[in-house]
Amino acid sequence: MDHLSQIYLDANATTPVLPQAAAAASFAMETLFGNPSSSHISGLQAKAIMTQTRQRATQVLGAGNGEVIFTSGATEGIQTAILSALCNVRTRIDNTKDYCLLYGATEHKAVPESLKHWNKILGINAQLKAIPVDSSGKLDLDFIAKEAPNALMICTMAVNNETGVFQDLSLLDKTIRANNSDIFWLVDCVQALGKTDLALAKTTIDYAVFSGHKLYAPKGIGFVYIKENTPFTSFIAGGGQENGLRSGTENLPGMAALNVIFAMLLGQSEHSFTPPAQLEKFRQQLVGALKQAFPSIVFNHGFENSVATTINFSIAGLSSKEMMDLFDAANIRVSSGSACSSKVTGSFVLDAMGLSQWQSESAIRMSFGPAMTQQKVDLACERIIYCAQALNHSCLTLGSDDLANKSEVSGLLQFKVGGSCTWLYVDHTTKSAVIIDPLPQLDQRLKTLLTCQSLQLIAVIDTHGHADHVSCRVALADLLLKGQQTDKLGWPDDTPVMAIDGENYQYINIGAQRLVKVPTPGHTDDSISLLLTQYVQASKRIQADYVFCGDLVLMGSLGRTNFATSSTPAMYSSLQSLYQLVGSETLICPSHDYHHDFATSFGAEMARNNLLAQVLSKEIEPTQFSHHKALLDQNINDQVGREIMCGAFVESCRKNVVEHHNRDSLAAAMAQDSPVQLVDIREAHEYALAHGQEFNQNVPISRLVQFAQRHQQDKTQQIIFICRSGSRSQQAAQALARLGFSNIGHLEGGYALN
C-alpha cells in the first residue's frame, strides 16, 4: 500500500494545473510577458496568444458568431451575464405587471445570490423563483412553461457540480422559447467543459459561463459566451481591453494555459484527454470498489443522466464529516455534500431532489477530470478498500480486518449527531454496556459496535422524553434486551436500592461501577439524571465519575422549561439536589452539545452562568428563579437548521485561551525537560491509516470526556492535541481549558500544514 501518494478525487471543486498548461503559463510569464494592448513586438506576440486562445475557445464552444470574453472566472461571468440582461429589461418593464427571475433549485449559489443582488441594486424587484427538480435532478419543464411568460431571465446549469446530473439543453430550449421568445437565458457550463459536447450557436442560449480551474488551467481565468446580438453591459469599465467589453490588463498566462487545454480538446495537440467511453469505465470501476468497501452505500443520482466524472453517494450511519476525515487519513481527497459544523445542514442540491435527510447529511462527492488515468483509478480503488478495513478496525462496520487488531472499546464514548449526544459506557472486564439517550441516526452503528466488540447490553435508557427526535431505545431493546421489563424511559424494573445522604436511589451494576437513577424533573416532568459511580462500602458514600443529566444542565445554559410538562420550580430543586450529590468537579454529560464543549461540570458552568450560580448558592428563591428562567427561555431560537433547540444561549459560549503551536514551537515544547503529553485526537480508524504520524498516544475525540475524567487529578500537566486540520484539536483543547486544565495547547493546521 502506497501511503504517501495523493489520490485526488475532488476535480469538481478544482483541478491541478496540467504540466503542459503550467509550462505554457510559465513561458508566457517569462517570455511573452508583453501587454497585449501594446503595439510593440512584445505586445503583438502576447496578443497573438490571446487571439489564438479566443479562436480555439470559439471552436470548442461551437460559438459561431457569438462573442467570447475572458474573465477572472465563472463568478464574474455570471455577474456580467445577469447585469447585461437586467440592464436591458429594466428599460422595457411594464410597472403594472408582476415579473419573476427563474433559476434551477440545484443551481450553484453564485447564481441566485447574484440575481438577488442585481435585482435589488437595479430596482427591478422581480420575484425570484426556484425551478423545482425531480428525484433525478431534472428541471420541472411544466413549471418553466407556466412561469416563463412572466419571467425576465432564466438561469440553468448544464451539469450540476454536486451530482454531475446534466440537463437536456435541447428540450429546455424548446420549452423556454415556446413560452417566451424574449426571455434571457443563462447557462452555467462550468462542469460541462470537456465532459459534454457543446454547440452553443445552435441553441438560443444567450449567455454561458466557464471557469478555467475546473479543467486543469490556473485559478483566476475564465470566460463568458455571449450570443450574437445579445445585449451586453460591461461589468468592469476602465481601459477598454477585450474590445472595450471587459477592462483590465489581460491575464495572458491564464489564457496561454487555456490555449493548451483547448488544443487538447480539439485534437490539435500531441497530448489528449481520456475518451468519454473510458471515463465511464473508470466510474464503473470506482463504483464497484465503493460497493465492495461499503455494502450499505446509496448513490444519490442516476448514472444514466449524469456525467461519468462525478459520483455522489451516502453511507448509512456515517456522516459526511466522518467520511471526509476517513478519506483524508488515507490521502484521498473528496468533498462533502454538507457543511461540517455543529449544525447539520445537509446538501441543498439533494434536498431539492427530495432525497432523505440522512442521504443529504451524509453525502460525499467523488469527482475526477478527463485527464484521469487507469493507474490512478486502480490505486484509488485499492485505497477505498483500505478505508473500509479501517472502519472495521473501529467497529463502525463489520467485515474482515486486514489491519491490526480492532480498537478496543472501554469506558465512555460520546457520539454526536449535529448538536445531540448519545453516550455509551463499556465495562471491559465484564464486557457489558449501557447506552444513554440513543439517537435514531445511530441505531445501526450502536448495533454494529456491540456485535463487533462482543458486548452484552445491560440497559438502554433515555434521560427524558425527547421533543427533538424519536429515540431508537425501543428498537435496540427489542433486539438486544428481549424480555427485559422497564419503565417508559428504559430503566429496568425491580432494580436494587442504595442509600445516599438518607435518600434511596435505584441503581444498576455495570462491572464494578453503579449507574444510579436520580429523579431531576424540570425540563420535563419525567427527567432523570444517571450517575456513574464508584460505591465505597465502608463509608456508604459515592464518588461519581460522570453525570448524564439530559437537558437539565446544558453547556452555557439550562434546559428550556417552556414545555407543557416543564416545571421551573422543579428544576430549581433538581439543580440543588444534584449539586449536593456530585459537587463542583464531576463531569456532566448532557444530551446536547451545541458548541463543541463535550462535557462540563457545575464548577465550569457557575463560572459563566450567573443564574445557575445563584441557584446553587441559594442566593435566589424559586419564584425569582422562575422569573429569570422565563426571560431566558424567551431567547430560545426554536429551530436552527433541522434541530429543535433545547436551551437558550444569550451569548456565545466563551472560548478559553489555549496555546497555539506551530511546527517549531511544538518541537521546542517536546524538547523541554518537563513531560509533554502529545495526544492525537483523530478517531481510531483515521489513526490506523496514519503513516509516519503515529505519536505516543491516540485519544479519539469521541473518548475525550473519558480522557478528561482520568486526568482530573492533575490539571497542570502540559497536553498538546493534534488532528488532521487543527479544528478538532482546538475544540478539544478549549474544552479541557474550560474544565480547568491550565497547560493546554494544540497544533494549528494539524497534519495538513505540518
Q: What is the pLDDT of residues 659-717, one digit of tens each?
A: 999 999 999 988 888 889 999 999 988 888 875 555 668 999 999 999 999 999 899 99
Share of the chain residues as helix, strand and coil, in percent rounded to the nearest 5: 35, 20, 45
3-state secondary structure 357-386: HHHHHCCEEEECCCCCCHHHHHHHHHHHHH
Q: Give residue 248's pLDDT band: very low, low, confident or very high (50, 70, 90).
A: confident
**Are residue 258 and residue 294 in the same domain, yes or no?**
no
pLDDT beyond 60 at 341: no
> Strands 310-315 and 297-299: what pairing?
antiparallel
**Are residue 119 and residue 261 in the same domain, yes or no?**
yes
Are residues 484 and 495 in contact, defined by beta-carbon separation less than 8 angstroms? no
Q: What is the pLDDT of residues 162-188, one digit of tens each?
A: 999 999 999 999 999 999 999 999 999
Q: How many other C-beta atoms lie within 10 A of the C-beta of residue 20?
A: 17
**Are residue 420 and residue 546 in the same domain, yes or no?**
yes
Q: Where are the beta strands (DSSP E) in 113-201?
A: 127-131, 151-157, 184-188
Please report which helix (H) or strand (E) contains residue 55, including its range. Answer: helix 41-61
**Are residue 437 and residue 564 in the same domain, yes or no?**
yes
- Alpha carbon of 460 to those of 67, 421, 477, 589, 621: distances in Å? 67, 14, 7, 16, 36
Q: What SS3 class is residue 688?
A: helix
Is 63 part of a structural domain of the chain?
yes
Task: Report the CATH number that the domain containing residue 150 is assigned in CATH.
Answer: 3.40.640.10
Is 223 part of a structural domain of the chain?
yes
- Position 641 scores a pLDDT of 60
For residue 307 the three cell numbers come to 456525467
**Distance between CA atoms of 73 and 108, rounded to whole angstroms?**
14
Is 518 part of a structural domain of the chain?
yes
Q: How many other C-beta atoms lie within 10 A of the C-beta of residue 61?
A: 22
CA-wise closest residue to 439 among 458, 460, 422, 461: 422
- Position 254 scores a pLDDT of 95
For residue 156 the three cell numbers come to 440553468
- Position 132 scores a pLDDT of 98
Q: Who wins on pLDDT, 399 or 628?
A: 628
pTM (two decimals): 0.88
Is 257 part of a structural domain of the chain?
yes
**Distance between CA atoms of 446 and 414, rounded to whole angstroms?**
12
**Are residue 280 and residue 249 in the same domain, yes or no?**
no
Is 650 part of a structural domain of the chain?
no
Is 5 part of a structural domain of the chain?
no
pLDDT beyond 60 at 719: yes
Q: What is the mean pLDDT of the chain?
A: 90
Task: Report the CATH number that the domain containing residue 620 is assigned in CATH.
Answer: 3.60.15.10
**Are residue 632 and residue 522 in the same domain, yes or no?**
yes
Q: Give residue 640's pLDDT band: very low, low, confident or very high (50, 70, 90).
A: low
> Strands 7-8 and 297-299: what pairing?
unpaired
Q: What SS3 class is residue 582?
A: helix
CA-wise closest residue to 180 among 146, 140, 138: 146
β-sheet bridge partners, residue 505: 498
Q: What SS3 class is residue 245?
A: coil
**Are residue 510 and residue 603 in the same domain, yes or no?**
yes
- Alpha carbon of 444 to those of 73, 326, 472: distances in Å? 44, 19, 10
Is 403 part of a structural domain of the chain?
no
In the chain, pLDDT over 90 holds for what percent of residues? 73
**Are residue 215 and residue 297 in the same domain, yes or no?**
no
Indicate the number of domains in the chain.
4
**Are residue 362 and residue 486 in the same domain, yes or no?**
no
- Give the domain extent around 319: 275-393
**Are residue 496 and residue 590 in the same domain, yes or no?**
yes
**Are residue 333 and residue 251 in the same domain, yes or no?**
no
pLDDT mean over 537-545: 67
Q: Give residue 638's pLDDT band: very low, low, confident or very high (50, 70, 90).
A: low
pLDDT beyond 60 at 550: yes
pLDDT mean over 242-270: 88
Of 265, 287, 322, the residue at which a domain comes to its end is 265
In the chain, pLDDT over 70 holds for what percent of residues? 93
**Are residue 573 and residue 689 in the same domain, yes or no?**
no
- Position 342 scores a pLDDT of 38
Q: Who wins on pLDDT, 370 or 396?
A: 370
CA-wise closest residue to 159 among 106, 113, 109, 206: 106
Task: Report the CATH number that the domain containing residue 666 is assigned in CATH.
Answer: 3.40.250.10
- Alpha carbon of 126 to those of 86, 97, 140, 152, 233: distances in Å? 10, 10, 21, 8, 20
Q: What is the pLDDT of residues 89-144, one digit of tens each?
A: 998 888 889 999 999 999 999 999 999 999 999 999 999 999 999 999 999 999 99
- Position 483 scores a pLDDT of 86
- Position 1 scores a pLDDT of 39
Q: What is the pLDDT of residues 22-56, one digit of tens each?
A: 999 999 989 888 777 777 888 788 888 999 999 99
- Position 700 scores a pLDDT of 93
Q: What is the pLDDT of residues 567-620, one digit of tens each?
A: 999 999 999 999 999 999 999 999 999 989 999 999 999 999 999 999 999 999
Are residues 297 and 339 in contact, defined by beta-carbon separation less than 8 angstroms? no
Q: Give residue 4's pLDDT band: very low, low, confident or very high (50, 70, 90).
A: low
Q: What is the pLDDT of residues 420-434, one digit of tens each?
A: 999 999 999 999 999
**Which range is least confidently modeled, 36-45, 222-231, 440-449, 496-505?**
36-45
Q: Give residue 643's pLDDT band: very low, low, confident or very high (50, 70, 90).
A: low
- Position 239 scores a pLDDT of 67
Of 644, 669, 697, the residue at which a domain comes to its end is 644
pLDDT beyond 80 at 528: yes
For residue 741 the three cell numbers come to 486544565
Task: Report the CATH number that the domain containing residue 366 is assigned in CATH.
Answer: 3.90.1150.10
Please report which helix (H) or strand (E) contains residue 257, including its range. Answer: helix 252-265
**Distance between CA atoms of 180 and 144, rounded to whole angstroms?**
10
Of 211, 238, 265, the residue at which a domain comes to its end is 265
**Distance between CA atoms of 587 and 738, rounded to whole angstroms?**
12
Is 92 part of a structural domain of the chain?
yes
What does the DSSP assignment read for 489-520? T-PBSS--EEEETTEEEEEEEETTEEEEEEE-
